[in-house]
Amino acid sequence: MKLKVIFLGALIIGLLFPPLSSPQVAVRDDRGQLVVLSRSPRRIISLAPNLTEILYFLEMDSAVVGVTDMCDYPEGVKEKSHIGGFNPSMEKIVSLQPELILATRAGNRPEVVSRLEELGFLVMVTAPRSVEEIFQSIINIGKVVGKEALARLKVRTLRARAMEVRRRMKGLRRVRVLFLIWHDPAMAPGGDTYLNDLIRWAGGESLTAGEEENIVRLTREEIVLRQPEVIIAPPVARQWLADSWRQWGSALPAFMHHRIYSVDEDLVFRPGPRIVDGLEQVARLIHPEAFR
């Protein structure tokens, strides 16, 4: 009799107060694929450094169970399990049993993403093509991992800093910029890429923005023809630039006026929360007079 009473009481409570179901989250990634989760993922693998930085930015470091060998920021990421580089170990990924895998279109081959989905894993792919799309990718990841409010709050701060850079650039002449992403061979961003958008925000005009390819290869002769006023390159290109200086120094405005600069590639080549640091750095190089 007592058991019946307990059962009846539990039934009434269950009818009056049904268990709260986790709200389902559905976000379209940059492939147009729908990423659906019924709760915040507790086990996440990141396949790119910028995605790892976004997860830490959103205070999801405790949920990160695997990262690539290239993921080196912030400091705590070094303690995470590593799943390899551009060809991640499928066996390692399977052993970590992630509930969500974050990938990028630029850094992860389509066949790797397809194989992960064939194995039954949920994969979200990002491919931002502008500064604003980087901000949106942070918000979208925030939605998927249950941190949308925090993502929107932090993106608001990032956007305010970026808009302050644009405000300083208002009315200034756009400077012709050659932005090298590699030097041997010389390569620069072309097409519809976030790096060209970043250069525009920083008050410059990318000399390869009009190219159809996303990565443009250039000979020294082609660089001379484009007459850059500013050349920005990663630190590893210093020797190449020194050799170019000896060969073409008098033919390039950037060389003649000593406007050859290096930037921290992690700030500009990783489309994540530190992109605004990169934007501020590039803007100061292109228009130092706006920051005096």
Q: Give the sign of the dihedral formed by CA 29, CA 35, CA 39, CA 40.
A: negative
- % the chain with pLDDT above 70: 92
- Phi then psi dihedrals of residue 153, to 5 deg: -65, -45
What CA–CA distance (Å, rounded) separates 225 from 115?
44
Are 92 and 33 in contact by the 8 Å Cβ rule? The answer is no
The correct answer on CATH 3.40.50.970 for the domain covering 13-127 is no
- Phi then psi dihedrals of residue 163, to 5 deg: -70, -30
- pLDDT (0 to 100) of residue 15: 38
281-286 mean pLDDT? 98
* Structural domain boundaries in the chain: 13-127, 171-291
Quick: pLDDT tens for 124-166. 999 999 999 999 999 999 999 999 999 999 999 999 999 999 9
- Output DSSP code: residue 251: G
Quick: pLDDT tens for 235-266. 888 788 878 777 777 788 998 999 999 999 99
- % the chain with pLDDT above 90: 78
Quick: pLDDT tens for 51-106. 999 999 999 999 999 999 999 999 889 899 999 998 899 999 999 999 999 999 98
- What tokens appear for 15 in the block? 């009818």
Mean pLDDT of the chain: 90
Q: Could you check whether the bond before residue 189 is cis, i.e. omega within 30 degrees of 0?
A: no
- Does residue 17 have a pLDDT over 60? no
Instruction: Examine domains 13-127 and 171-291 and report if their fold is the same.
Output: yes
- pLDDT (0 to 100) of residue 189: 96
The pLDDT confidence band at residue 23, using thresholds 50, 70 and 90, is low
- Does residue 216 have a pLDDT over 60? yes
Using DSSP bridges, classify how beta strands 215-218 and 186-189 pair: parallel, antiparallel or unpaired: antiparallel
- Does residue 9 have a pLDDT over 60? no
- Does residue 5 have a pLDDT over 90? no
What CA–CA distance (Å, rounded) separates 144 from 148?
8
Cβ neighbours of residue 210 under 8 Å, at least 6 residues apart? 190
pTM of the model: 0.89
Nearest CA among 27, 26, 30, 78 for reference residue 52: 78
Nearest CA among 57, 219, 292, 11 for reference residue 153: 57
The correct answer on CATH 3.40.50.1980 for the domain covering 171-291 is yes
